[in-house]
Amino acid sequence: MPILSDTDKLYIMSLSIIEFFLLTGAVQGFFLTFVLIARKREDPVPNRLLAVLIIILSASSAVYVWGSAINQREELGMYLAVLLFLIGPVLFYYCHFTINGNSKFKKGDIIHFLPALFFTILMIAWNLVYGSVFHSFIHPLISTSIAIQTIPYLVKILLELRSYSRRLKKTQSSIEKQTFKWLAAIVLIYFSIWILVGLFELFNHFLNWVWEFWGGIWTFSTLCLYIIGYFSLAQPELSPITMSLSAENSPGAKKKSESEKTKYGKSALTPTLAVEFKTRLIKYMESKKPYLQQGLTLSDLAKGINITPHNLSQILNEQFSLTFFDYINGLRVDEAANMLSSPEGRQLLIVSIAFDAGFSSLSSFNAAFKKKKGVTPSQFRKLCETPK
């Protein structure tokens, strides 16, 4: 076991709580980077992009602590800040490649990384001319530029995640594990960080608070590390069906303003055939009750009634005015309501009824039930128990 010198012991004892937290987060971040790169996936590019993001945040935290130890935090922090120009583009491409499944950069994509290159050249030139990069002009310029450059990426990520969630409902009956809510949460956290950066830059003009606040910046970044690390490892890889759905319905493939009539304008499904398929669907759902199967997909149901997924989607949209997700979960809610109101079902736990009805989680069951019935499952059960 190595023996620490008196200087090392003194430095460790002098570490503030924030610095110790940052150092711990940085170590965890480097470990997560190794795990992400080593993890085998069919498409490794999103994991590698996430590894780059974690390396940036880990380096930010580590250099902040190291800079404090050698009294060079301001100088090192200015060079390090250039890396933050990469977070917006990297996070966006991680999200885009993960949900669309086409992990290929185009030649024009390099423009997203030019701000980092520009400010790196600016910092080097400024240091050569003035002998230091820490200047009252450079610091607010970089901080403000990072905030302005990052915000559009974060807004675009949130919009893309919302669009992806809507597209999932066209073919999936259970979407909880594929909605990337954790990624939306990280985006919101990081977005909040840069709102605070802008506010504290304003306060710094009058109160000189800015460098005290950077400890908070790196602390929030370290929190992002913990969130990114846990949820990225827990996130299942998207199935080929989901990936093809994302690519087919991505904003670049179809215009968002396209109406359902235009979408099915070239369909061979005649009105007579549509009525026949609708009748076949209703009879199949009543006799086989496939909606009780967790994870039921559009393709599974189409195969069961011997029609194409495209025709089934068209029938649900035109004949029922519902997405596949809403149609299946509506039937599941009706099934659960029957169980809740029956003498036998009143003895069962609500969570048991939710799973028996085909839901994959209690939260999705509660949300779907209240949406259709206007009350929660517990309230519905009490209403059924109340004597009329």
Q: What is the pLDDT of residues 222-247, one digit of tens each?
A: 676 667 666 766 666 654 444 444 44
What per-residue string of b and e applies to 70-108 under the rule 16 or more CB within 10 Å gives b? eeebeebbbbbbbbbbbbbbbbbbbbbbbbbbebeeeee
Look up the pTM and report it: 0.71
Contact between residue 88 and residue 154 where contact means Cβ atoms under 8 Å apart: yes
Q: How far apart are CA 369 and CA 113, in angstroms?
A: 46
Query: 172 - beta bridge partners?
Result: 297
* Residue 195 to residues 87, 148, 360, Cα–Cα distance (Å): 15, 10, 37
Lookup result for tokens 């003009």: 205
Contact between residue 295 and residue 174 where contact means Cβ atoms under 8 Å apart: yes
Render each residue's pLDDT in the chain as its tens digit; 388 residues: 445 454 444 444 445 676 777 777 778 888 888 887 887 776 778 888 888 888 877 877 777 777 666 555 566 666 677 777 888 888 888 888 888 777 788 888 889 888 888 888 887 787 777 766 555 667 677 777 877 787 888 888 888 888 888 888 888 887 776 667 777 777 777 777 776 776 676 666 555 554 555 566 666 666 766 676 667 666 666 544 444 444 444 544 444 434 444 555 566 778 888 899 999 999 999 999 999 998 899 999 999 999 999 899 999 999 999 999 999 999 999 999 999 988 887 888 999 999 999 998 898 899 999 999 999 999 998 888 766 5
Q: How far apart are CA 308 and CA 301, in angstroms?
A: 9
What was the pLDDT predicted at 265?
A: 58
Please state the length of the chain.
Answer: 388
What was the pLDDT predicted at 11?
A: 44
Q: How far apart are CA 188 and CA 81, in angstroms?
A: 20
In sign, the C-alpha dihedral spanning 287, 376, 178, 151 is: positive
CA 342 to chain centre: 40
Domains of the chain: 15-248 (1.20.1070.10), 260-385 (1.10.10.60)
Instruction: Name the burial class of residue 57, with classes exposed (0-12), middle (13-18) and buried (19+) by CB atoms within 10 angstroms of its CB.
Output: buried
Q: How far apart are CA 149 and CA 281, in angstroms?
A: 50
CA 322 to chain centre: 25
- DSSP string of 347-373? GS-HHHHHHHTT-S-HHHHHHHHHHHH
Phi, then psi, of 172 in degrees rounded to 5:
-115, 145
